[in-house]
Chains A and B, each alone.
Chain A
Amino acid sequence: MAEKVLMKGNEALAEAAIQCGCRHYFGYPITPQTEIAAYMSKRMPKIGGTFLQAESEIAAINMVLGASSAGVRAMTSSSSPGVSLKSEGVSYIAGSDLPALIINVQRGGPGLGGIQPSQSDYWQATKALGHGDFQMFVLAPSTIQEMVDFVKLAYEVGEKYRVPSMILSDGMLGQMMEPVEFPEKNDQDIPEKPWATNGHQNKRKKNIINSLYIEPQELEDLINERYQRYELIMENEQRAEEFMTEDADIIVVAFGASSRVSRSAVHMARAQGIKAGLIRPITLWPFPDKTIKKSMDTASKYLVVEMNKGQMVDDVRLVVEGKKPVEFFGRTGGIIPTPDEVLAQIKKLAGKEE
């Protein structure tokens, strides 16, 4: 076993990327993802990698587009307002069938919003980070260990299906410290990329990375082919954690930072004799509808807890189809709900209001 080290979430994620073979980082300064860029700027020159502080978020994501086209593992990181700027590039990356790793250490919005933790970019990440029909593979870590482990998963799934991947973190996970363990030899299985534009060396036909299709039928066919890949991702790559759900009457659904608070609230509810459980979506897209569906056998009510005004709750309601009540509780603007607040909501659902 590798030894455990105490690290800040942002730094742990950056180190994980390096250990996954990422040697090309492009970014632009923004709080609260600052430590990722700072860490990369320290490490990359020592290992023959590229750290490049771009002139804008737009340039940074397009540098990632170029590096991914070349076939290397590249990444960029930002926080909410900066991720909005990247949306153009993300759409082109998706439209060009390129894998790429994008980190969003979320803060409050809209606009400049605030700099405290938030989950208000759920819709953006899972529904529409850019124009056109496309999806990203979106992972939501809830511990610093997951900030490490999900980097490898994000690269592997992105490369397998040729889709952009996002790790949707937040200012809390980015800034807090926990002991983490780095798996050994993470970069041993980077797949060959026969589609890469790295010079044909007069040995193969030229490769073209492109998202332009003037013929509507050609474009529709390509999008349909891409959606077949999305179907496979929905079938094979859903991930969720279940906590005390076996006999749960009330199931809390929460991801990332709010799932940590919700877990505490579930513990407290159990101590008071309420059969509460937690489903924690790990993949936000594909949304883990199979886990939610399965839980409907036992659960009678759902409580979705988010650090926004209610975004993932839509996806839960789509799965539940009105067959059970799905309530929402959230704090926004950079405020993290307390376990007591969540417990009060659970008790309300259980009919045990004080």
Chain B
Amino acid sequence: MAVVFERPKALSDVPFHYCPGCTHGIVHRLVAEVLDELGVVGQTVGVASVGCSVFSYNYFDCDMVQAPHGRAPAVATGLKRSLPDNVIFTYQGDGDLAAIGMAETVHAATRGENITVIFINNAIYGMTGGQMAPTSLPGQVTQTTPYGRDTSVAGHPIRVCELLSTLSGTALAQRVTVDSVKNVNIAKKAIKKGFENQINKRGYSIIEVVSTCPTNWGLSPQEAMKWLQDNMLEYYPLGVYKDVTAEGGNK
């Protein structure tokens, strides 16, 4: 019988610890499929960040380094400068990338550090139980904004792709989501481009995936996907913000 669907080789045979309805699983699979298709698993070193995806070092079947909170771009820089012909990627959440690790992120991008960054934006701190993230929406109720995010007190959410698209070292800044087959396919294409950019030494690529956190949003998986579509995509429009490849059209 022909095999039509199987576990990507770049994913270890380990069950995910992610909650039902969380999109980490989909994104892990897309990254793994891309590593398989490019045939680079053996040369790849992934950098896990602090947050729900910290255990991604158990899931990707390549060499993995677990970085201090926010420091994944710096760790990836050290790896890439030591192993210029290897493929180095980071997998970071919004607290890690856009709060505690913003300096590392901006400077890795502006150096044109030749790495690929997978950025999960689910507008909340998942691992620690649902605190306000730098990307939490105005009015969003979290454990640390129990009356809703008041922007006069807690400031405004950060649009990461827009910010990084202003930097000369950024090769690709694209925001995607995985709420439908169509969008999953777009997301996979973006992730693949992010890795191809690195192989072709084009600089820093970031693929922001607008994601769900049903557990900490207090919603069912289906409601969470609907909340993402109704609320997040308005503040975080999908699209290509920077793309230095020939076919790239900048927003």
Q: Once the chains bind, are B77 and A197 in contact (CB under 8 Å)?
A: no
A-B pairs with beta carbons under 8 Å apart, 7 shown: A59-B103, A65-B75, A67-B82, A69-B65, A96-B66, A208-B63, A210-B65
Q: Once the chains bind, are B104 and A198 in contact (CB under 8 Å)?
A: no
A139 within 8 A of B: no
Q: Fill in one digit per residue for B54-92: 1 if any A CB lies within 8 Å of its CB, else 0.
A: 100110011111111001011111111111001100000
Please, which residues of chain A bring their CB within 8 A of the CB of B87? 199
Q: Fill in one digit per residue for A196-224: 1 if any B CB lies within 8 Å of its CB, else 0.
A: 01111111001111111000000000000
A271→B34 CA distance, assembly (Å): 77
Q: Once the chains bind, are A62 and B78 in contact (CB under 8 Å)?
A: yes
Q: Number of A-B pairs whose CB atoms are under 8 Å?
A: 137
Please, which residues of chain B bring their CB within 8 A of the CB of A54? 74, 107
Q: Once the chains bind, are B79 and A62 in contact (CB under 8 Å)?
A: no
Where the two chains meet, the residues of B that have a C-beta atom closer than 8 Å to any C-beta of A are: 12, 41-45, 47-48, 54, 57-58, 61-68, 71, 73-83, 86-87, 103-104, 106-107
Q: Once the chains bind, are B79 and A88 in contact (CB under 8 Å)?
A: no
Please, which residues of chain A bring their CB within 8 A of the CB of B44? 199
A68 within 8 A of B: yes
A window 57-93: CB within 8 A of B? 58-60, 62-72, 74, 88-89, 92
Q: Once the chains bind, are A74 and B82 in contact (CB under 8 Å)?
A: yes
Q: Which of A52, A56, A62 contacts B67 (CB 8 A)?
A: A62
Please, which residues of chain B bring their CB within 8 A of the CB of A133? none
Please, which residues of chain A bring their CB within 8 A of the CB of B104? 55, 58-59, 62
A107 within 8 A of B: no
Please, which residues of chain A bring their CB within 8 A of the CB of B107? 54-55, 59
A285 within 8 A of B: no
Q: Once the chains bind, are A66 and B77 in contact (CB under 8 Å)?
A: yes
Q: Once the chains bind, are A70 and B62 in contact (CB under 8 Å)?
A: no
A26→B74 CA distance, assembly (Å): 10
Q: Once the chains bind, are B57 and A63 in contact (CB under 8 Å)?
A: no
Q: Which of B12, B48, B81 contacts A52 (CB 8 A)?
A: B81
Please, which residues of chain A bring their CB within 8 A of the CB of B61? 206
Given contacts A54-B74, A197-B64, A206-B64, contact A70 B103 (CB under 8 A): no
Residue on B with the closest CB to A69?
Answer: B65
Q: Once the chains bind, are B103 and A55 in contact (CB under 8 Å)?
A: yes
Given contacts A63-B74, A69-B65, contact A201 B81 (CB under 8 A): no
Residue on B with the closest CB to A70?
Answer: B82
Task: Name, among B64, B83, B104, B106, the residue most crowded by chain A CB atoms within 10 Å (CB to CB).
Answer: B83
Please, which residues of chain B bring their CB within 8 A of the CB of A211? 66
A59→B105 CA distance, assembly (Å): 10
Residue on A with the closest CB to B47?
Answer: A66
A62→B73 CA distance, assembly (Å): 9
A116 within 8 A of B: no
Q: Once the chains bind, are A65 and B67 in contact (CB under 8 Å)?
A: yes
A58→B104 CA distance, assembly (Å): 9
CB of B4 to closest CB in A, whole Å: 24
A50→B81 CA distance, assembly (Å): 7
Please, which residues of chain B bring their CB within 8 A of the CB of A69? 45, 65, 75, 78-79
Q: Once the chains bind, are B74 and A59 in contact (CB under 8 Å)?
A: yes
A211→B71 CA distance, assembly (Å): 14
A208→B45 CA distance, assembly (Å): 9
Q: Which of B63, B73, B83 contacts A207 (CB 8 A)?
A: B63
Given contacts A70-B78, A202-B41, 13 further A-B contacts (CB under 8 A): A56-B103, A59-B73, A59-B104, A64-B78, A65-B65, A66-B74, A88-B68, A89-B68, A89-B71, A197-B63, A197-B64, A197-B65, A207-B63
Q: Once the chains bind, are B57 and A210 in contact (CB under 8 Å)?
A: yes
10 nearest A-B pairs in the assembled complex, by CB-CB distance: A66-B78, A62-B74, A70-B82, A197-B63, A63-B78, A55-B107, A67-B78, A66-B75, A62-B71, A59-B74
Q: Once the chains bind, are A66 and B68 in contact (CB under 8 Å)?
A: no
A325→B59 CA distance, assembly (Å): 59
CB of B55 to closest CB in A, whole Å: 8
Residue on B with the closest CB to A63?
Answer: B78
Given contacts A72-B82, A199-B86, A208-B66, contact A66 B76 (CB under 8 A): yes
A8 within 8 A of B: no
Please, which residues of chain A bring their CB within 8 A of the CB of B47? 66
Q: Fill in one digit per residue for A32-55: 1 if any B CB lies within 8 Å of its CB, else 0.
A: 000000000000000000101011
Residue on A with the closest CB to B64?
Answer: A208
Q: Once the chains bind, are B78 and A65 in contact (CB under 8 Å)?
A: yes
Please, which residues of chain A bring their CB within 8 A of the CB of B86? 198-199
A162 within 8 A of B: no
Given contacts A55-B104, A206-B64, contact A199 B75 (CB under 8 A): no
Given contacts A54-B74, A208-B66, contact A202 B42 (CB under 8 A): yes
Residue on A with the closest CB to B86?
Answer: A199
Please, which residues of chain A bring their CB within 8 A of the CB of B12? 206
A203→B63 CA distance, assembly (Å): 12
Please, which residues of chain A bring their CB within 8 A of the CB of B81? 24, 50, 52, 63, 66-67
Q: Once the chains bind, are A66 and B79 in contact (CB under 8 Å)?
A: yes
A157→B44 CA distance, assembly (Å): 29
A338→B158 CA distance, assembly (Å): 56
Please, which residues of chain B bring their CB within 8 A of the CB of A66? 47, 65, 67, 74-82
CB of A23 to closest CB in B, whole Å: 8
Please, which residues of chain A bring their CB within 8 A of the CB of B103? 55-56, 58-59
Residue on A with the closest CB to B87?
Answer: A199
Please, which residues of chain A bring their CB within 8 A of the CB of B80? 66
Residue on A with the closest CB to B104?
Answer: A59
Q: Once the chains bind, are B71 and A209 in contact (CB under 8 Å)?
A: no
A52→B73 CA distance, assembly (Å): 14
